Structure formats: C-alpha cells, structure tokens
C-alpha cells in the first residue's frame, strides 16, 4: 500500500467516480474497491468522497439554465420555490441519519476486508431490487411526463437515499428506485436524483473535508486532489448526458445485471483479503 496517493491513482479514481456517480451501480462501492485494487493510500474514504465535488460541479454546469431560472424565480414564483423546498425535504433524511450514524458506520466498516464484502452483497441485493422495481416495460408510457413531485414523494425518496450510507447500495440507485416505487417515470426519477446530488454530495464533501482534513493531507496532495476532482467533473458531465439519453429509451435492468455480476466478482475477490 502506498503512503501517498499518486497522480496516476488520482486519475483512475477520478474516472471511476465520474462514470459511476450517477449510474445506479454505487460510485462509493466502486471507488473503495478500486482504491484497494490499485493500492491507493487508505484515507478511510476521505479522498474518494472529496473528489465527488467534481460530480456536483458537473450537475451544476449541465443544468445551469434550469437552476438559474429557478433561483431567479424564487422570490415570486411558487413553482420555483416548490422545486427548492422539494429538494430540501428530500435532502433532510440522509443529512440527519448521516450525522447521527456516520461515526458508527465508519467503525463498523473500518476493516477493509469486511468493507469489500459489504459492498459485494449490497451490489447484489441492490441489483435484485432494481430488477424487481423496474420490471414493468410500460412504466414511462403510463406516467405523465409533467407529473409534479409532491413533498410526500420527496420525503420518501429522501428516506430511500438513507440506505446509500451503506457502501455498495448506491445513492443514485436508492433515489431512482424510490422514485420509481412512487410512480415517477424513469427520466423524472433520474433527473430528480441528479438534482438531489447537489445538496447531498456537496454537504458530504464539505463535512468529510473538515472532519478528515488531516488524514487527507497525510496521504494526498493538492495536485492529486485537484486532478481527481477535475477528471471526475469531466467524466460525470459525459455520464449525465449519456444516462438521460439511455433512460429515455431503455429500462434499468441492464444495470441490475451488472450489479449482480460485479457483486459476485467482488465477493470472490474478497476471499483473498485479510481484515
């Protein structure tokens, strides 16, 4: 295990983060496994979480016009205010649960071998759930394209997002599944998951950076952190556009199969690890 995160490792982790963050396959799970596989220094997930800022910037750039219009309309337009309040309602459950149980979860999954096994099983079980929830081929055809997300739906999507505190579950996967269960179309559930990533990933990045700054400084560098974040930004921007185009014509069951296959591979690999 290296004592420092190299630029090559930062580049690899940035690519992994950018590709997987918005797909329902768990970016955190992929990042933690990739970190071990390439021998990156152990930051207890700090480096991997901080470079998620690149994904947040990608969403802000991709939806810059929509976000600007809703921000500008906040004072006098109820629809604009409703959008921001809906995001707040969906964000709060994970924020509260995360603050309450973050240290406990970190302690439970501190052993890297155990962490990898949890990721493997979470990928498999999440794949089964995603397949079952998205099994209806006529879902989007029967869902109004202009359906407004209610505060109740936002709250339950926020509750679903709490499951993503377990590595391997997938924040985007949990919120998309929550949206589908509540009757949203695939595209609407996906876009709401993108929007929800702004406060969720933004808050997680700031909190983790403040809490574990010393640990990050010990094994990282400004160059490695900057490169990882930049690469995550570029690849996330490409992934967002691709996924929106994909879900307009396809379902999520391909991702479900991927999760199961990768989860089984990770479990097989975890047998070679100690701890």
> Residue for token digits 């391909």?
254
| Signed CA dihedral, 160, 103, 167, 34: sign only | positive
Tens-place pLDDT, residues 34-51: 988 888 876 666 787 889
Please give the residue that has the higher pLDDT: either 225 or 146: 225
Q: Read off the pTM.
A: 0.90
Residue 217 has pLDDT above 70, yes or no: no
The whole-chain average pLDDT of the chain stands at: 88
Over range 263-270, report the average pLDDT. Answer: 92
Residue 89 has pLDDT above 50, yes or no: yes
Secondary structure, 3-state, the chain: CCCCCCHHHHHHHHHHHHHHCCCCCCHHHHHHHHHHHCCCCCCCCHHHHHCCHHHHHHHHHHCHHHHHHHHHCCCCCHHHHHHHHHHHHHHHHHHHHHHHHHHHHHHHCCCHHHHHHHHHHHHHHHHHHHHHHCCCCCCHHHCCCCCCCCHHHHHHHHHHHHHHHCCCCCHHHHHHHHHHHCCCCHHHHHHHHHHHHHHHHHHHHHHHHHHCHHHHHHHCCHHHHHHHHHHHHHHHHHHHHHHHHHHCCCCCHHHHHHHHHHHHHHHHHHCCCCC
Contact status, residue 240 vs residue 58, Cβ threshold 8 Å: yes
The pLDDT confidence band at residue 56, using thresholds 50, 70 and 90, is very high
Question: For residues 18 and 235, what is the distance between their CA atoms, to the nearest angstrom?
Answer: 5
Query: For the purposes of burial, counting CB atoms within 10 Å of the CB of 230, is it exposed (0-12), middle (13-18) or buried (19 or more)?
Result: middle
The pLDDT confidence band at residue 208, using thresholds 50, 70 and 90, is confident
Residue 186 has pLDDT above 70, yes or no: yes
Q: Give the pLDDT score at 44.
A: 62
């Amino acid at each position: 295990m290296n004592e420092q995160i190299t630029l090559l490792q930062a580049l690899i982790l940035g690519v992994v983060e950018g590709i997987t963050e918005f797909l329902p396959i768990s970016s955190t799970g992929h990042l933690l496994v990739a970190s071990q596989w390439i021998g990156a220094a152990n930051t207890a997930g700090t480096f991997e979480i901080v470079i998620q800022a690149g994904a947040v910037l990608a969403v802000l750039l991709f939806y810059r016009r929509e976000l600007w219009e809703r921000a500008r309309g906040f004072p006098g337009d109820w629809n604009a205010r409703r959008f921001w309040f809906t995001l707040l309602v969906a964000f709060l459950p994970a924020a509260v649960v995360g603050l309450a149980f973050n240290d406990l979860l970190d302690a439970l999954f501190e052993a890297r071998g155990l962490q990898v096994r949890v990721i493997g099983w979470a990928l498999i079980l999440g794949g089964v759930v995603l397949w079952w929830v998205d099994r209806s081929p006529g879902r989007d055809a029967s869902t109004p394209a202009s359906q407004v997300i209610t505060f109740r739906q936002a709250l339950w999507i926020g509750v679903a997002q709490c499951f993503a505190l377990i590595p391997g579950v997938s924040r985007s996967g949990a919120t998309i599944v929550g949206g589908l269960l509540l009757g949203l179309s695939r595209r609407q559930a996906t876009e709401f998951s993108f929007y929800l990533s702004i406060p969720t990933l933004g808050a997680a990045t700031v909190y983790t950076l403040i809490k574990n700054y010393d640990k990050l400084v010990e094994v990282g560098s400004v160059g490695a952190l900057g490169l990882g974040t930049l690469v995550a930004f570029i690849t996330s921007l490409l992934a967002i556009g691709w996924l929106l185009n994909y879900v307009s014509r396809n379902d999520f069951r391909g991702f479900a199969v991927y999760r199961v296959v990768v989860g089984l591979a990770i479990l097989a690999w975890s047998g070679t690890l100690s701890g």
